[in-house]
């Protein structure tokens, strides 16, 4: 009897999720980190709502990054939208171990192929240490496709705008650290490859982060003068040239 009650409670918890949440658009920041823009039709959505939704719908494929929720108030969107970061549950192998594995063949500076299984792996750096990470975005893309929610062109445009966190030197930002925690920092340099050097407000360390890891700009610095070329290049790096050309 006690086991049945526990099972019933777990089933009830699993079913307790927001059914009005749907993905409008997404952006891959790294092979294992995505930003999702979602819409909802009911009461204001919380990070706990999204965690339960991800647990039920995602079936363990990914998890919501804590404290990454951001509300976007765009008058052009007929539905409320929020963005959140999601980390794909991945397998990481130390870089030097990968080099010693005969099945893993380097096909580029940051890409490996498992010749036995045919799987792709990408190089990632976490806290100064190199790893190779199994590239499993297909699982994430399958999830997004299954939970796509088209709310019309106005909502779609607002969702893309929600991803445009283009930062410049001197900006104070809320961003995702390499260890998948969210913190505050100051942009000290924007590099030609589209990444930014961010000095963390808590530990004082500087991290090289993809621009997409910036959740929001809290205060702008004197250099923050967004132009169409920069914005177009930002979208192209994450969404592709065709979409970027249509947006700008």
What percentage of the chain exceeds 70 in pLDDT?
79
210 shares its domain with 107: no
CB distance 111 to 98 below 8 Å:
no
Count of domains forming the chain: 3
177 shares its domain with 242: yes
154 shares its domain with 42: yes
Across 32-36, 108-112, 147-151, 176-180, the highest mean pLDDT is recorded for 176-180
79 shares its domain with 117: no
What was the pLDDT predicted at 11?
43
CATH number at residue 191: 2.30.30
23 shares its domain with 59: yes
75 shares its domain with 40: yes
75 shares its domain with 182: no
Residue 66 falls inside a structural domain: yes
Residue 33 falls inside a structural domain: yes
Residue 167 falls inside a structural domain: no
* Whole-number Cα distances in Å, 173 to 35, 37, 43, 91, 213: 16, 19, 28, 29, 10
Average pLDDT over residues 86-104: 82
What percentage of the chain exceeds 90 in pLDDT?
23
Average pLDDT over residues 57-67: 84
48 shares its domain with 151: yes
157 shares its domain with 236: no
- Whether residue 7 has pLDDT greater than 50: no
Burial of 4 (0-12, 13-18, 19+ CB in 10 A): exposed
- Whether residue 154 has pLDDT greater than 90: no
157 shares its domain with 41: yes
Q: How many residues does the chain have?
A: 248
CB distance 98 to 112 below 8 Å:
yes
Instruction: Give the tens place of pLDDT for each residue, 231-248.
Output: 777 777 766 777 677 666
Residue 177 falls inside a structural domain: yes
Q: Regarding predicted confidence, which is higher, 185 or 31?
A: 185
The dihedral built from the CA positions of residue 105, 107, 109 and 110, taken in this order, carries a sign that is: negative
Q: Which two tokens stand for residue 159?
A: 């969702």
**Residue 76 is part of which domain span?**
2-88+137-162
What was the pLDDT predicted at 138?
60
Residue that the structure tokens 């990408």 belong to: 122
Average pLDDT over residues 77-83: 79
124 shares its domain with 20: no
What was the pLDDT predicted at 2?
45
196 shares its domain with 243: yes
Instruction: Give the tens place of pLDDT for each residue, 194-235.
Output: 899 999 999 999 999 998 899 999 998 887 776 667 777 777
């Amino acid at each position: 009897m006690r086991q049945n009650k526990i099972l019933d409670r777990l089933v009830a918890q699993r079913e307790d999720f927001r059914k009005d949440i749907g993905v409008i658009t997404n952006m891959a920041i790294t092979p294992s980190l995505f930003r999702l823009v979602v819409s909802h039709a009911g009461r204001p959505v919380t990070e706990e709502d999204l965690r339960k939704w991800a647990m039920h719908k995602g079936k363990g494929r990914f998890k919501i990054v804590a404290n990454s929720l951001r509300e976007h108030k765009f008058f052009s969107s007929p539905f409320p939208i929020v963005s959140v970061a999601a980390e794909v549950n991945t397998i990481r192998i130390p870089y030097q171990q990968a080099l010693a594995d005969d099945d893993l063949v380097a096909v580029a500076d940051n890409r490996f192929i498992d010749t036995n299984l045919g799987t792709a792996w990408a190089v990632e750096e976490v806290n100064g240490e190199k790893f190779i990470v199994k590239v499993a975005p297909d699982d994430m893309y399958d999830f997004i496709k299954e939970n796509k929610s088209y709310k019309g062109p106005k909502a779609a445009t607002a969702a893309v705008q929600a991803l445009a966190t283009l930062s410049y030197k001197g900006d104070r930002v809320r961003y995702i650290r390499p260890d998948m925690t969210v913190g505050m920092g100051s942009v000290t340099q924007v590099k030609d490859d589209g990444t930014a050097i961010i000095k963390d407000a808590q530990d004082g360390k500087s991290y090289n982060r993809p621009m997409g890891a910036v959740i929001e700009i809290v205060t702008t610095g004197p250099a923050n003068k967004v132009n169409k070329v920069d914005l177009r290049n930002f979208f192209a790096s994450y969404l592709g040239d065709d979409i970027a050309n249509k947006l700008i």
